Amino acid sequence: MIPFARAVTELGEPTLLIPLCALLCACMTVRSRGWALRWTGAFAACAAGIAALKLCFLACPQRSLWLHSPSGHAALSMLFFPSLAWFVTADARRSIRAAAVALGVLAAATVAASRAVLLAQSWSEVAVGGLVGLAAFAVFAEIRKPSGRKEDRRTPAVAVAAAAASRQATWLLMVGLLALTWALYGERLPFEDLLMRKAAVLRLTVAACQ
């Protein structure tokens, strides 16, 4: 169980997921700049939200709630994996798209749970992080919902071009996912250390946290 959890938790490492999120955004740009802009907004909100929560609880931990550092692994996973599933099945039937997104959420939940199994974070920290990422995805998915009315108005030439762009973006995404995962799996950058230093300064300036 522990070796499996260690292998899974690496899939939620920000050093890996941030480049994968950038790749997903680039592939969305191939199909629609609007999609890419909206997803960038969701990613920025997720990243800013979890960073703010980490600073808040690192400076003023809530020990009774087991909240010290909400999980960035859970937040980014809950945004990335369902978004990946949604994008790959964007042209599929609604039932297929819903099933794919459910699998994406399950994959993200597995990554999030591995943090608690490894005692890297508490279940409370995992839950808070997961809710941040899931909320960002939910906002993006609602905004980015394909419009059947617009698709019906496309000319045959536009439809063929859109299908070609979709296939191109999907293949680019798959190749990029494999390459980045191979290159960055297991790598780490000191994001948490930086936040801990900032939180230490914040703790000294907030009387309630001292």
Residue 163 has pLDDT above 70, yes or no: no
- At residue 156, what is the residue type? P
Joined together, the tokens standing for residue 67 give: 């909240």
Indicate the average pLDDT of the chain.
Answer: 85
- Each residue's pLDDT tens digit, 90-144: 888 889 999 999 999 999 999 999 999 999 999 999 999 999 999 999 999 886 5
Residue 154's pLDDT is 52
> Exposed, middle or buried: residue 61 (CB in 10 Å: 0-12, 13-18, 19+)?
middle
Residue 60's pLDDT is 85
**Residue 104 contacts residue 87 (beta carbons within 8 Å):** no
Closest CA to 2 of 115, 80, 78: 115
- Each residue's pLDDT tens digit, 54-97: 988 888 888 778 888 899 999 999 999 999 999 999 888 889 99
Instruction: Break the chain into its structural domains and give their ranges.
Output: 2-209
**Residue 25 contacts residue 43 (beta carbons within 8 Å):** yes
Displacement of CA 170 from its chain's centroid (Å): 18
Check residue 10 and report its DSSP letter. G
Residue holding tokens 């937040």? 75
DSSP state string for 142-190: HHT---HHHHHT--HHHHHHHHHHHHHHHHHHHHHHHHHHHHHTT----
